[in-house]
Amino acid sequence: MTKRSKRYTAAAERIDRSQTYAPTEAISILKELPGAKFDESVDVVVRLGIDPRKSDQLVRGAVSLPKGLGKDVTVVVFAEGDKADAATAAGADVVGSGDLADKIAGGWMDFDVVIASPDMMRHVGKLGRVLGPQGKMPSPKSGTVTPDVAKAVTEFKAGKVEFRTDPGGNVHAPLGKCSFPVADLEANLSAFLEHLGGMRPAAVKGEFLRRISISTTMGPGANIHYEG
């Protein structure tokens, strides 16, 4: 059994895990909990009503959060020529092709998002075993394999987030920082849930968004109800 800190225990006592809260109330509670010594992130976890063993029920995508994430996002781009220049102008942190693939294959992983022009997948495809487990492998579904790499860089720098189902059928996503106003965190949460709800696979029957919980980086979760 994991031993919890006194701060975590005190925070957990403020949350009734047997009930669901309105989003505004849950966010307000999280912001009032004893905090860590840094500006924690607020994250959402959604349990989906899918069978994660079936490929036609898996969910993967990306959504732009209206209030951003409150952090610098490091973006690397696989592109050459004019597209590479455009990506650099849009704010990409590192741009390359085969050389970038070699650097990542060698163990460099100091980035958050990988974007690739379709013609660069000959390089990126070799990195599946490295980027896949990290959830950083580019995909057309998440908008990270695209001819318009500059637009993608701008969107992810501004607060677009990727998400995908994990082996347990859950989706995780950041919503911003604990220092954000309640209204901003709620706006990001609503945008995420609305987008996710619209991605219901045709093969899924019954309730799709089964359980929704939000928490801070170091704190306990609060279950919320959502009427989407």
- Tell me how many domains the chain contains: 2
What is the tens place of the pLDDT at every residue in 200-228?
999 998 999 999 999 998 888 999 998 76
- The pLDDT score that the predictor gives to residue 7 is 65
**Boundary-marking domain end, from 119, 137, 157:** 157
Are 11 and 219 in contact by the 8 Å Cβ rule? The answer is: yes
Residues 64 and 165 in one domain: yes
| Cα torsion 203, 56, 135, 139: sign | negative
Where in the sequence is the domain holding 179, given as residue range(s)? 16-68+161-224
Q: Is the pLDDT of residue 113 over 50?
A: yes
**Boundary-marking domain end, from 105, 128, 157:** 157
| For range 178-190, the mean pLDDT | 96
The C-alpha atoms of residue 207 and residue 211 are separated, in whole angstroms, by 10
Residue type, 34: P
Residues 96 and 63 in one domain: no
CATH number of 217's domain? 3.30.190.20
What is the tens place of the pLDDT at every residue in 9-53?
767 677 888 899 999 999 999 998 877 788 999 999 999 999 999
Are 217 and 176 in contact by the 8 Å Cβ rule? The answer is: no
Q: Is the pLDDT of residue 2 over 60?
A: no
Average pLDDT, the chain: 92
Is residue 3 in a domain?
no
Q: Is the pLDDT of residue 166 over 60?
A: yes
Is residue 122 in a domain?
yes
* Segment holding 89, helix H or strand E: helix 81-90
The C-alpha atoms of residue 61 and residue 162 are separated, in whole angstroms, by 6
Residues 153 and 172 in one domain: no
Q: What is the pTM of this model?
A: 0.83
| Tokens (6 digits) for 210 | 């089964």
Is residue 21 in a domain?
yes
**How much of the chain, in percent, has pLDDT values that exceed 90?**
79
CATH number of 133's domain? 3.40.50.790
| Tokens (6 digits) for 105 | 């294959």
